[in-house]
Amino acid sequence: MSITIQARGIAKGKGSGKILISSEPISFLSGVDPETGIVIENGHPLQGLSIENRILAFPFGKGSTVGSYVMYALKMNGKAPAAIINDEVEPIIAVGAIISEIPMVDRPDTPMSTLKNGVVTTVDGETGEIIYEI
């Protein structure tokens, strides 16, 4: 059984994987290792976890514009998330998702706080649909 969550499409494409949810923003520059896909920011709730092939859900991005290029490096290294969900996208993450061809949505009509880590989820960046398997 699944539920469909409607969001706003940001970066085209479709990605599926287990969802990885953070209540805190993410900085890709100095926050995620582009060689391994592991969150390295000290004290971050996802510290030590890999974002590779996950549906990465977090409120918004933070940090330098270079974060967009770190996202691109993650993609080139095969360590990028399968898709991204934000509460509210900001330019650094939007640009990173677009140039890296990582499907992305924001403004989901269901709060991310109601979702559980590890659930298989599909994101369609063109239609804005999030299919959450329950």
Catalytic residue annotation: 64
Measured N-to-C along each axis, helices 67-76 and 91-100 cross at an angle, to the nearest 10 degrees, of 20
Identify whether the C-beta of residue 5 lies closer than 8 Å to the C-beta of residue 124.
no
Per DSSP bridges, beta strands 120-124 and 129-133 are antiparallel
Per DSSP bridges, beta strands 104-106 and 14-21 are unpaired
